[in-house]
Amino acid sequence: MTISKIEAPKALIPEDRLQARIEELAAEIERDYAQTEKLIAIGVLKGSVFFMVDLLKRLSIPVAVDFFQTSSYGDSTEPGEVRIKKDVDISIRGADVLLIEDIVDTGFTLRTILDLLRFRGARSVKLCALLDKKARRQAEVPIDYCGFEIDDHFVIGYGLDYAGLYRNLPYVGVYEGET
Ligand code: 5GP
């Protein structure tokens, strides 16, 4: 069986810049949560996984790990309606939650999750996002730790996919085909 190699897209953020920025974010997070008693890092599947692993590996404070998975309602007439496909397994009541996301685009996904976490009684909720596509924002979401602000490109790599592929690229690139 032959598997054709995927064409490598142009790098928007090369691997060394990603890793250097993640190092800085980790140092900031480590400082801010030095006194916390119960820190839970929650990633949003599947895109945040690569970023989350590299970030959390750099922390020396104890941290629990869990995941949400979301999707937009395909047939919804309500823009921004987000469905929770996979919920977290652990209780977040009283915990300091660090929500980790690959990219904030319209902001609807994170707005929904942030509201849910607060409703469930988290002691604090902060957001760490690798990429911020600010120009596309429709729902307000404060990003406490932001990797990079980017222009309105459709990006792939380092967790981000196009049609399920490209997540394993070690850098962030711009997808140049039809989306
Ligand atoms: P939001 O709810 O902020 O509009 O959407 C966030 C989600 O949309 C991200 O977690 C990601 O899955 C997807 N997304 C938004 N922009 C891009 C992009 O440029 N590339 C890829 N691969 N996914 C994106």
CB-ligand 1 contact for 106 (6 Å cutoff): yes
In a domain, 21, yes or no: yes
Provide the CA 39 distance to its chain's centre, in angstroms: 17
What is the per-residue pLDDT for 71? 87
In a domain, 106, yes or no: yes
Any idea what the CATH number is for the domain that residue 60 is in? 3.40.50.2020
What is the per-residue pLDDT for 26? 98
CB-ligand 1 contact for 70 (6 Å cutoff): no
pTM of the model: 0.93
Helices 15-32 & 49-56, crossing angle to 10 degrees?
Answer: 60
Is cis: bond before 46, omega within 30 of 0?
Answer: yes
Query: How close is the Cα of 106 to the center of ligand 1, in Å?
Result: 8
Q: Average pLDDT for consecutive 10-residue bins of the chain (179 residues)?
A: 63 97 98 94 97 98 96 66 93 97 95 94 97 95 97 96 95 87
Which residue minimizes the CA distance to atom 8 of ligand 1?
105
Residue range(s) defining the domain that contains residue 135? 10-71+80-152
What is the per-residue pLDDT for 10? 85
Query: How close is the Cα of 105 to the center of ligand 1, in Å?
Result: 6
CB-ligand 1 contact for 104 (6 Å cutoff): yes
